[in-house]
């Protein structure tokens, strides 16, 4: 058969046609995944619980855009003004302080997402732990439920409602085929209290079972319960026009009022020998504050390549020309309100107001123009960069510190870091004089022009951690962030005594905070001074002294009826602003959400 005939033959054509058809459907289109392991082979109880904890630290309570913005920038303590070309950012910072936020505000959207993700991760952990055989199963389950309560409580504090799935439901509390129900604060607060009270027997006591202050232990539960009872009356009736909240209403425990329960839980902590008030108040916020004796529940931060902590709480008040090392700088963002600065008038010698730094050779950094130099012997961890230590606390007036030479190194004198008078980095003719009296060209618009970049006293409460994974880094930190600390527990008990009418006990707690703390050696380690009397306004002021820049202020303001009042760059506001709106983007995809009144 010649070749022409082969091609002409019918059989060849049939074979060709068959071949053609046989190529059809050569794949079933199952997607091949090479670069990740799908499915649940690697799920463990501890990994699910770790993710639920991660959400606390993953910006939520550690970043300037998180609870600092929600609880401090919206308060009479701090604000992030637009500073020249910096921090305008479409108005997202200013609106938090000027009370012009809307359901489209970015920070509200971010934090709604973070907190509800925290709830979802907690539910996921509950689900995974329930189905696990981990030796710590009971403890982990209780912790996941505790975290659920913590996230949900913060959600109702901010938004007055929370998405809800039953954390006790088995087998799967995170059944995503069901639409999540929305529950309002008055209902949820009691459910959360009941839940947390029920899990206490299963929780570890701090230090047992390899736990540390970064875990939700029995002690963390006591603190959260105290907090929830302290705010229960607000949750029940957040918007009442006169801010008259029924703090002494009956609690969920027969025969006890909400305030009795606050006193009960705070006393458990105050009487617990694990915790002591620090003499050096700022040691609670140092780089090496892990396990600090005041810490009850904290976010553990470390500097590592995989999950570095966030330096924002130490960084955002620092001016750009304030350099902890030649390779570090501040960012000239947040500052303190005029009102809060002056609330310290007559109390500036309180150990909590500020603390000067003493170098190991005895040199004090005075920051008053008398400094010549400080030793260059401290270096940033993991580098050879000299480390300059700024003072702590509330910083104002003309600032001094190291400056760079042309090659980017600190200017030195006799082998030591020279201390010079500083100027504003972006406007070098403006001295770095932090003026406590904030003056805005338009009093209700917190915009500072480029020749006003120096304005506002600064909060250097948390230590600026200059280290990084590979060389100095402004962004990461090893400072643990306390969520509940003994000082704050005292303020809760004082407030509860006060609201019960027991002013003597309240004053005693306040004075305990004042007099236990001592000043630095430069001032002969002088303890703080007690006060003689207490009224509502003094108590409110004292809460600020103890807890400023710790993300507690907005709820304090609401409890004390201060939230609607005008202050720096903020006009009188209406009660509906005591809760934030639910972000529009969430309402768009969750038709069951009803927007809060007023928005």
Quote the CA–CA distance of 86 and 453 in Å, as a whole number: 10
Count of positions on this chain that bind other proteins (CB under 8 A): 109
Sign of dihedral through CA atoms 494, 495, 499, 503?
Answer: positive
Nearest to 355 by CA among 386, 320, 380, 390: 390
Tell me whether residue 118 or residue 351 sits nearer to other proteins (CB atom). 118
Closest contact distance (angstroms) between CB of 163 and other proteins is 4
Closest contact distance (angstroms) between CB of 506 and other proteins is 36
Using the CB atoms, write b or e for 375-386: b if 16+ within 10 Å.
ebebebeebebb
Closest contact distance (angstroms) between CB of 500 and other proteins is 38
205 near other proteins, rule: CB under 8 A: no
**C-alpha distance from residue 401 to each of 286, 295, 422, 471 (Å):** 20, 31, 6, 21
Sign of dihedral through CA atoms 136, 141, 147, 150?
Answer: negative
The binder of other proteins chosen from 236, 320, 389, 541 (CB under 8 A): 320
The window from 83-91, 190-198, 411-419, 516-524 that contacts other proteins (CB under 8 A) reads 83-91
Closest contact distance (angstroms) between CB of 199 and other proteins is 18
Nearest to 262 by CA among 24, 498, 572: 498
1 near other proteins, rule: CB under 8 A: no
Quote the CA–CA distance of 209 and 211 in Å, as a whole number: 5
The window from 226-234, 369-377, 542-550, 589-597 that contacts other proteins (CB under 8 A) reads 589-597
Per the listing, tokens 């100027």 go with 423
Nearest to 249 by CA among 261, 241, 267: 261
| Torsion, Cα of 268, 269, 273, 274 (10° steps) | 140
Quote the CA–CA distance of 87 and 92 in Å, as a whole number: 9
Closest contact distance (angstroms) between CB of 53 and other proteins is 4
CB of 479 closer than 8 Å to CB of 282: no
588 near other proteins, rule: CB under 8 A: yes
E strand residue ranges, 261-419: 295-299, 309-310, 335-336, 354-355, 357-358, 364-365, 373-374, 392-395, 397-398, 400-401, 412-413, 416-418
Helix (H) or strand (E) holding 196: helix 185-199
Tell me whether residue 44 or residue 348 sits nearer to other proteins (CB atom). 44
Tell me whether residue 87 or residue 150 sits nearer to other proteins (CB atom). 87
Closest contact distance (angstroms) between CB of 98 and other proteins is 7
Closest contact distance (angstroms) between CB of 517 and other proteins is 28
The binder of other proteins chosen from 117, 138, 202, 595 (CB under 8 A): 117
The binder of other proteins chosen from 166, 249, 304, 537 (CB under 8 A): 304
Quote the CA–CA distance of 160 and 211 in Å, as a whole number: 32
- Map the footprint of other proteins across residues 171-190, applying CB under 8 A: 174, 176, 179-180
Per the listing, tokens 């199963």 go with 137
- Map the footprint of other proteins across residues 427-456, applying CB under 8 A: 427-429, 444-445, 447, 449-452
300 near other proteins, rule: CB under 8 A: yes
Tell me whether residue 236 or residue 320 sits nearer to other proteins (CB atom). 320
From residue 208 to residue 237, what is the string marking binding to other proteins with x (rule CB under 8 A)?
A: --xxx-xx----------------------
Closest contact distance (angstroms) between CB of 316 and other proteins is 13
- Phi/psi of residue 450, nearest 5 degrees: -65, -20
H-state helical runs in 179-249: 185-199, 218-236
593 near other proteins, rule: CB under 8 A: yes
Closest contact distance (angstroms) between CB of 387 and other proteins is 16
From the number of C-beta atoms within 10 Å of its C-beta (0-12, 13-18, 19+), residue 91 rates as middle
Quote the CA–CA distance of 297 and 213 in Å, as a whole number: 5
The binder of other proteins chosen from 62, 71, 82, 284 (CB under 8 A): 82
The binder of other proteins chosen from 171, 362, 408, 415 (CB under 8 A): 408
Quote the CA–CA distance of 341 and 227 in Å, as a whole number: 26
477 near other proteins, rule: CB under 8 A: no
**3-class secondary structure, 318:** coil
Tell me whether residue 16 or residue 521 sits nearer to other proteins (CB atom). 16
473 near other proteins, rule: CB under 8 A: no
- Map the footprint of other proteins across residues 20-49, applying CB under 8 A: 20, 23-27, 29-36, 38-40, 42-44, 46-49
Closest contact distance (angstroms) between CB of 274 and other proteins is 14
DSSP characters over 323-344: -SSTT-------EE-HHHHHHT
CA 479 to chain centre: 12
The binder of other proteins chosen from 274, 420, 426, 541 (CB under 8 A): 426
Closest contact distance (angstroms) between CB of 504 and other proteins is 40
- Map the footprint of other proteins across residues 242-271, applying CB under 8 A: none
Closest contact distance (angstroms) between CB of 152 and other proteins is 11
CA 500 to chain centre: 30
The window from 338-346, 389-397, 422-430, 548-556 that contacts other proteins (CB under 8 A) reads 422-430
The window from 222-230, 279-287, 402-410, 454-462 that contacts other proteins (CB under 8 A) reads 402-410
- Map the footprint of other proteins across residues 523-582, applying CB under 8 A: none
């Amino acid at each position: 058969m010649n070749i022409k005939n082969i091609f002409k033959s019918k059989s060849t054509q049939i074979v060709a046609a068959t071949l053609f058809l046989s190529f059809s459907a050569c794949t079933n289109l199952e997607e091949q995944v090479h670069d990740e392991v799908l499915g649940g082979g690697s799920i463990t109880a501890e990994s699910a619980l770790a993710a639920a904890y991660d959400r606390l630290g993953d910006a939520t309570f550690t970043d300037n855009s998180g609870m600092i913005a929600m609880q401090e920038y919206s308060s009479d303590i701090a604000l992030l003004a637009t500073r020249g070309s910096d921090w305008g950012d479409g108005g997202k910072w200013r609106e938090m302080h000027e009370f012009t936020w809307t359901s489209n505000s970015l920070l509200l959207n971010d934090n709604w997402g973070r907190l509800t993700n925290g709830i979802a991760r907690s539910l996921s952990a509950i689900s995974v732990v329930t189905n696990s055989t981990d030796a710590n199963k009971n403890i982990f389950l209780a912790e996941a439920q505790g975290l659920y309560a913590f996230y949900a409580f913060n959600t109702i504090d901010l938004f007055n409602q929370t998405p809800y799935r039953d954390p006790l439901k088995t087998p799967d509390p995170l059944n995503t085929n069901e639409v999540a129900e929305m529950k309002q604060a008055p209902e949820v607060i009691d459910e959360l209290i009941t839940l947390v009270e029920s899990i206490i027997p299963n929780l570890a006591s701090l230090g047992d079972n390899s736990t540390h202050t970064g875990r939700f232990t029995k002690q963390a539960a006591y603190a959260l319960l105290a907090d929830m009872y302290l705010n229960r009356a607000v949750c029940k009736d957040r918007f009442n026009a006169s801010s008259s909240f029924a703090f002494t209403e009956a609690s969920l425990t027969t025969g006890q009022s909400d305030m009795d329960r606050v006193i009960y839980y705070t006393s458990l902590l105050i009487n617990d020998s694990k915790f002591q008030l620090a003499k050096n108040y700022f040691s609670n916020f140092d780089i090496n504050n892990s396990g600090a004796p005041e810490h009850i529940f904290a976010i553990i931060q470390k500097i590592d390549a995989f999950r570095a902590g966030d330096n924002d709480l130490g960084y955002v008040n620092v001016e750009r020309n304030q350099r902890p090392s030649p390779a570090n700088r501040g960012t000239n963002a947040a500052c303190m309100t005029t009102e809060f600065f002056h609330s310290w008038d007559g109390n500036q010698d309180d150990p909590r107001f500020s603390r000067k730094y003493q170098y190991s050779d005895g040199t004090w950094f005075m920051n008053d123009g008398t400094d010549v130099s400080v030793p260059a012997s401290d270096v940033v961890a993991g580098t050879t960069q000299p480390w300059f230590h700024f003072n702590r606390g509330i910083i104002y007036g003309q600032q001094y510190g190291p400056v760079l030479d042309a090659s980017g190194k600190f200017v030195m004198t006799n082998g030591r870091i020279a201390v010079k008078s500083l100027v504003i980095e972006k406007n070098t003719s403006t001295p770095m004089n932090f003026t406590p009296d904030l003056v805005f060209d338009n009093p209700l618009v917190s915009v500072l022009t480029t020749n006003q970049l120096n304005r506002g006293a600064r909060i250097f409460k948390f230590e600026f951690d200059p280290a990084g994974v590979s060389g100095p880094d402004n962004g990461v930190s090893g400072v643990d962030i306390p969520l509940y600390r003994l000082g704050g527990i005292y303020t809760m008990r004082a407030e509860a005594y006060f609201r019960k009418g027991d002013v003597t006990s309240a004053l005693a707690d306040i004075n305990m905070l004042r007099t236990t703390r001592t000043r630095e050696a430069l001032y002969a380690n002088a303890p703080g001074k007690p006060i003689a009397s207490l009224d509502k306004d003094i108590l409110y002021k004292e809460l600020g002294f103890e807890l400023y820049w710790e993300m507690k202020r907005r709820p304090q303001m609401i409890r004390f009826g201060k939230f609607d009042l005008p202050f720096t760059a903020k006009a009188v506001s209406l009660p509906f602003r005591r809760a934030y709106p639910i972000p529009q983007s969430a309402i768009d995809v969750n038709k069951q959400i009803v927007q809060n009144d007023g928005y």
